Amino acid sequence: MTTDTTTVKTATADTGARADLFRWIIAAGGLATVASTFMSWTYTDEFPGDLTVYGYPGGLQVLTLVAGLLTTLYALAAQDFKGLRWLAPTGTTKALRLFALGAFGTTWFTVVAIAVELGGVVNLEPGGFVAAVASAIPVAAAFQLPDDTRKARRPKELPSWAEILIIVAAFAIGLFVVTYGIDTEYAELFTGYMITAGFAIAALFKAGLMARLSALTAKYRSIAVAAAFVAAAAFPFTQNTDQFTLIAVNILIFATVALGLNIVVGLAGLLDLGYVAFLGVGAYTAALVSGTTASAFDVQFPFWASVLTGGAVSLVFGVVIGAPTLRLRGDYLAIVTLGFGEIFRITVGNLDGVSGPQVTNGPNGVPNVPDLNFFGYDFGESHTIAGFELGSYANYYLLMLLAMILVILVFSRAGSSRIGRAWVAIREDETAATAMGINGFRVKLIAFALGATLAGLAGTVQAHVQSTVVPEMYVFAGPVPPNSAFLLAAVILGGMGTISGPLIGATLLYMIPAKLQFLQDYQLLGFGIALILLMRFRPEGLIANRRAQLEYHETDQLDVPEKGLPDTGVGITKAGA
């Protein structure tokens, strides 16, 4: 017995020493990767970002620098260096692997891009080779580490001011990360940003740091909401021009409409493939009452009236379309809503005075929609606020931010209300919900009408941002979002039934085509592959609620009572416990 115990202790000590050695190798590799970014990676400035300078990282080198620093930091945290253990409440091994892969992926993408775009590896300077070798060392060592996943301990109680400060700092970092991605000036830098950010965020989740931050935001919910709003509102103040602010405005429009669709699909479980038509209804309504000379109606409503009119007309269309169709279920409902979307596009294309009445100018649409003017504040002109000059798109950005807050408020209140619980019941099992006394048709019609109204509200702003409205903007699938396919993909990708899920999904699905123009012809193929992989590995979406996680990750094994618990005849699994 003594010999066996001694052998086990010796083996454990050897394993621990071996793991410590690999962690120090990872830290050394991370530092070498950081050092390589201060060297020249290519001798010519033809590759974007100017990677020819010694002593000053530029372009993609900055991303490699950040990834290398994070890898080194977590390698030291694994050694409990200077109290860094708090960075990984649930373990460091999985996080280290992801950080190392992020640095490796960004570095090798840059090296390969230099070789491909400039015509061979001869265009690489010694710094490029050093970076390639240095970034591979942490990856090789990280996959030799034993898994140290553990249950997170209860964090040390901090003063309230310190916890609030952590929340503020987290949202400030989030603003910087998002702004950096939107402001990327060329496709190579955006691709590297996506690689680095993707692996880093996944690593922080695996380390348990994001879960701890979520607990803090739940504890100080009102402060977290205010911090999120302030961070989002600060974005236009970080921009010198409107070049990237327009992308942010379109992201907000896309995300707002996706949240409205989330009520229909995520909460009520109604597969709507023609939802973008309600966005078009609001946009056309606002354009026709805006006072433009291209309108068939000689009227000019003030902003608040055009918004209410667009929302009301969309509501009417939602009720008119939903009333005869919502008695259908599943694929049948999807086909009918798809038909409605196509009917809307064809109808507005035919109301040109030749094929039908002169209302929408047919395929030419309604151009020259004037800028909004709200109580003397012209959204089409630049304004100086607190010493910062805000362009026209910055004005629309702040307006759409307020609209999104309204939609989020409606979604959260409706989702937790009695009608919201009825939507979830209908989504889970309509037959059982009806048997329990829920009027399925009325509940679904309310969801359909509310979703249509929110889309119409977003459409009223979109008409003024784009300054023109044409039928081609409201199709089922097309090269430019928002369209019905992209909206549905944003909800599914982000996580149905959540608030942050569609926001993240819409941001990704808009930014990727906007930044990677060379993928315009292949983006539907790429998104199809991404959705297949998502359904295979994370069917609940990037951000999922607890119910979806339990539903999509059920095990088929028989429940076995936990050791030490009385056998009451009901199996208790670890997940259930």
Instruction: Please name the residue that has the structure tokens 């950080």.
Output: 99
Q: What pLDDT, on a 0 to 100 scale, did the predictor assign at position 33?
A: 93
**Residues of the chain below pLDDT 70:** 1-15, 81-82, 386, 478-481, 518-521, 523, 545-577
**Coil/strand/helix, residue 352:** strand
Q: What's 562's DSSP letter?
A: P
Q: What pLDDT, on a 0 to 100 scale, did the predictor assign at position 519?
A: 65
Q: What pLDDT, on a 0 to 100 scale, did the predictor assign at position 531?
A: 76
Q: What pLDDT, on a 0 to 100 scale, did the predictor assign at position 361?
A: 82
Q: What pLDDT, on a 0 to 100 scale, did the predictor assign at position 480?
A: 66
> Which of 272, 266, 253 shows the shortest CA–CA distance to 326?
272
Q: Residue ranges of the domains in the chain?
A: 17-230, 242-473
C-alpha distances (whole Å) from 329 to each of 319, 332, 347, 488 are 17, 6, 26, 17
Whether 381 and 372 have beta carbons less than 8 Å apart is answered as no
Q: What's 244's DSSP letter?
A: T
Q: What pLDDT, on a 0 to 100 scale, did the predictor assign at position 130?
A: 92
Q: What pLDDT, on a 0 to 100 scale, did the predictor assign at position 556?
A: 45
pLDDT digits (tens, 9 = 90+) for 232-259: 888 888 887 778 888 888 888 888 888 8
Residue 505 CB contacts under 8 Å (≥ 6 apart), including other chains: 258, 489, 490, 491, 492, 493, 494, 495, 541, 542
* Strand ranges for 265-393 from DSSP E: 373-374, 377-378, 383-385, 388-390
Q: What pLDDT, on a 0 to 100 scale, did the predictor assign at position 570?
A: 37
| Tokens encoding 305 | 């009236």
Whether 476 and 274 have beta carbons less than 8 Å apart is answered as yes
Q: What pLDDT, on a 0 to 100 scale, did the predictor assign at position 238?
A: 84
